[in-house]
Amino acid sequence: MAEAFNISGTKIMSMSFARALAMIIPFLLAAQMPAAAAPERPVSITITLETSEADLLWNASEQYVYFNGTLTLDDPLQREIDVSLFPTAPSGWSALCSPEVNKFHSAGQRNFTCSVHPGNVRENMTGIITVQGMAYWRGDAVASNQSPPFSLHVTRLVVEKNYNLTNPRKIDFTTRLENILPHLSVLAVLVAIIATAAATWRWRKRRSRGEAAP
C-alpha cells in the first residue's frame, strides 16, 4: 500500500515539475532572444528656395532668370548619397540647375542655382517652375522630394526696342524711326499752332498801335 502511494506521489511530482518546466522554458527562450531592432529612419531630403517669384520684361532675346535654393539631406546610416536635381518648366521653356548632382556623406546642405529661359513667349503669362530632387545610393533611389513652386511672370513688350531692359522707363537710342514718326507729327502740329498764335498776336498788336496813332 505504501509502495503504491510512493509511486503515485512520484508520478504527481513528475507531472507538476513537467508542467512548471513547460511554463518556464518559453520565458527562458524569450529572454535569450535578441531584442527587435528599432525601425531605422529613412533618408530624407528637403529643397527650399530663396524666393518664390520674379518678373521679366521679355523681348525675344537670350534673357535668363536665375534663382537660388538650398538642398538638405539626412541619412541615419551615414552612406555616400548622390542627389540629382531635375527642374520642371512649362512647355517650350528651358530650365537647368547647377550643380545637377550633389554628393553627400551622412548629412549636410548644398546650395544650387537654377536658370530659366521662357522660350518663344507670344503673350503675357506666368510660368511655374519646380525642382525635383532624387537621392541615389549605389544606383538605387532611396528618397525624393520637390521644392515649392517658383513663379516667373513674363511681360512681353509690344514694341521690342522701345524699352531699355535695365531701365524700362528709359527709351532706348536704338528705337526704330517708324515708331518715332507719330510722335514727331504731333510735335510738328503743336509747333505750327503755337507759331500761328504768335503771328496772330503780333498782327493784332500792330493793328491796335496803328489805330491808336493820330
Q: What is the pLDDT of residues 10-22, one digit of tens each?
A: 555 565 656 665 6
Residue 135 shares a structural domain with residue 166: no
Cβ atoms of 159 and 177 within 8 Å: the answer is no
Q: Are 85 and 132 in contact (CB under 8 A)?
A: yes
Picking from 88, 185, 71, the residue whose alpha carbon sits closest to that of residue 135 is: 71
Nearest by Cα to 70 from 93, 42, 95, 99: 99
Q: Nearest-CA neighbor of 111 among 74, 51, 69?
A: 69
> Per-residue pLDDT tens for 160-185?
444 455 555 444 444 444 556 666 77
Distance between CA atoms of 24 and 204, rounded to whole angstroms?
132
Q: How confident is the model at residue 195 (pLDDT cuts 50, 70, 90)?
A: confident
Identify the domain containing residue 110 by its residue range: 44-156
* Overall pTM > 0.75: no
Q: What is the CA radius of gyration of the chain?
A: 43
Mean pLDDT of the region 84-113 = 95
Instruction: Note whether residue 10 is domain-resident.
Output: no
Closest CA to 47 of 132, 106, 127: 132
Answer whether residue 65 shows pLDDT above 80.
yes
pLDDT-derived band of residue 125, with 50, 70 and 90 as boundaries? very high
Task: Dig out the grid coordinates for 46 from the structure.
Answer: 528637403
Higher pLDDT, 63 or 65: 65
Q: Are residues 135 and 72 in the same domain?
A: yes
Query: Domains in the chain: how many in total?
Result: 2
Q: What is the CATH number of the domain that holds 118?
A: 2.60.40.2310
Residues 148 and 182 occupy one common structural domain = no
Average pLDDT estimate for 116-120: 89
Write out the three cell numbers for 72. 538638405
